[in-house]
Amino acid sequence: MIGGGGRPALLRRINETTVLARLHQAGPLRLGDLSDRTGLSRQTVAQVVASLAGDGLVEYVEAGREAPRSPGRPARLVRLRPDAAHVVGIDIGPHRTLVVVADLTGRIVAEDRGDSSRLRGPDEMLAHVRARVRAALSRGGVARETVRAVVAGTPGIVEAEHGVVVKAPDMPGWTSIDLADRLRPGFECPVMVENDVNLAVLAERWRGHGRDAGIVVAVQWGGRVGAGILVGDRLLRGAHGAAGEMGFLPGGGGPPVGAAPFGPFERRVGTAAIAELAGDDASPEDPGAATLTAAAAGDPAALEVVDTIAARFAEGLAPLVLILDPDLVVIGGGVVRAGPALLDALGRHLRDRTLVRPALALSALGDRAVALGAARLALDDVERRLFTVRS
């Protein structure tokens, strides 16, 4: 509610933000309800809505239908235009890339998948990513000017505040890269960078299993192993952006941490270790896939491998559970193909290793978790800027 005072331009801006915030919070509203809920006069609300409609931010829809206004029918409700703003979420990985474009309501309006496994070095990777973003925007019919925030997820240690990738052992040359800066050209909006597993846990909170849990851990378990940790609504990034680095937990000997690209724990439990256990070397590009799929189909030998690898995994999950006592651990990544048998084995082997037990779940987001989390983080940023009334 705005009393007198303040310069007219500032006041108009505050009134617009107030109206947008109410529509975001409450959904479509009649002009009168909007007046009641904002404390602005009916006349002011009508002016503000007209101005926002002129900027393409709101539109009139018919009550009960919430479809765009048809000519000649009475307009009833004001709503935010879903296409008033878009965000781009990008998953940059050593083998593949995924770009998702979402509208202001969070609906995914376009996706694009790319193969990054044959790219050599950061320049080729960045050119590839820019091309995939262009393709996704074009497929969704989204004008670049409506993109209000971009978030890219990458493996490795990320200084999210500055958008810099400090190091990412399995991405050649992907070291001390100002990724946000390199992605920024062509966008008139904030471009941010975040660690991939941190984005995966945001996606679990948004569209996965973690909607109601207090402390959620999303473990990505594929060729490598890492965890994103959400405490309430807050990512636990760590002092150096290195929280959740489960892959470097001790176990099984080998070179000291930092001297090898893979950590001791991920060497023991990653998909390459699964393939080795199974004596399965048919698919070097997707190791362990055959065994995991066979386990899901009930193959006894494959189930034995899954049990062995789950026992090893419990050795590393136990310290995480003892230290964080999470409500929920969601397992994502390539191992998810083994299905419920993996979860059963994991729960069984964890039992005698911890004082309390978190709920365990398999991610239902597949390989879209990182890109979806990136879109969610971008939406958070857009919502903060569009809908926050500063006093």
CB of 285 to a second copy, least distance (A): 27
CB of 294 to a second copy, least distance (A): 30
**Smallest separation (angstroms) from a second copy to the CB of 103:** 33
Long-range contacts of 318-324 (CB under 8 A, 24+ apart): 318/350, 318/353, 318/354, 319/249, 320/217, 320/227, 320/246, 321/350, 321/353, 321/354, 321/356, 321/357, 321/358, 322/354, 322/355, 324/215, 324/217, 324/229
Instruction: CB nearer to a second copy: give 278 or 313.
Output: 313
Q: How far is CA 327 from CA 57, 162, 216, 252, 330, in A?
A: 39, 31, 6, 29, 10
| Shorter beta-carbon distance to a second copy: residue 176 or 188 | 176
Q: Least distance to a second copy from the beta carbon of 241, Å? A: 7
Nearer to a second copy, 116 or 354 (CB): 354
CA atoms within 13 Å, Cβ hemisphere of 62: 10
Q: What is d(CA 348, CA 317) in angstroms, rounded to the nearest whole number?
A: 12
Least distance from a second copy to the Cβ atom of residue 13, Å: 22
Nearest distance from C-beta of residue 240 to a second copy, angstroms:
4
CA distances from 340 to 105, 138, 289, 295, 317 (A): 33, 39, 16, 10, 17
In the bound state with a second copy, the residue whose beta carbon lies nearer, of 2 and 46, is: 2
C-alpha–C-alpha distance, residues 316 and 267, integer Å: 12
- 112, β-bridge pairs: 99
Residue 63 or 322 with smaller CB distance to a second copy: 322
Q: Which is nearer to a second copy, 218 or 338 (CB)?
A: 218
Q: Measuring CA to CA, which residue among 12, 81, 24, 29 is closest to residue 388?
A: 24
Q: How far is the C-alpha of 235 from the C-alpha of 116, rounded, in Å? A: 28
Considering beta carbons, is residue 35 or 198 the nearer one to a second copy? 198
Q: 136: closest CA among 115, 120, 113? A: 113
Residues in touch with a second copy (CB under 8 A): 157, 213-215, 227, 229, 231-232, 234, 236-246, 248-250, 256-259, 315, 318-320, 322-327, 352-356, 358
CA distance 263 to 75: 61
Which residue, 28 or 244, has its beta carbon nearer to a second copy?
244
CA angle 222, 364, 245 (to 5 degrees): 35
Write down how long the chain is.
391
Closer to a second copy by CB, 188 or 233: give it.
233
| Alpha carbon separation from 251 to 210, 223, 227 (Å, rounded) | 29, 17, 17
Query: Residue 237 CB, nearest distance to a second copy (Å)?
Result: 8
User: Which H/E stretch holds residue 271?
Assistant: helix 271-278
* Smaller CB separation from a second copy, 118 or 234: 234
Partnered with residue 61 across adjacent β-strands are 68, 77
Nearest approach in angstroms of CB 357 to a second copy is: 9
Q: How far is the CB of 134 from a second copy (least distance, A)?
A: 35
Q: What angle do CA 364, 366, 371 make, to 5 degrees?
A: 115
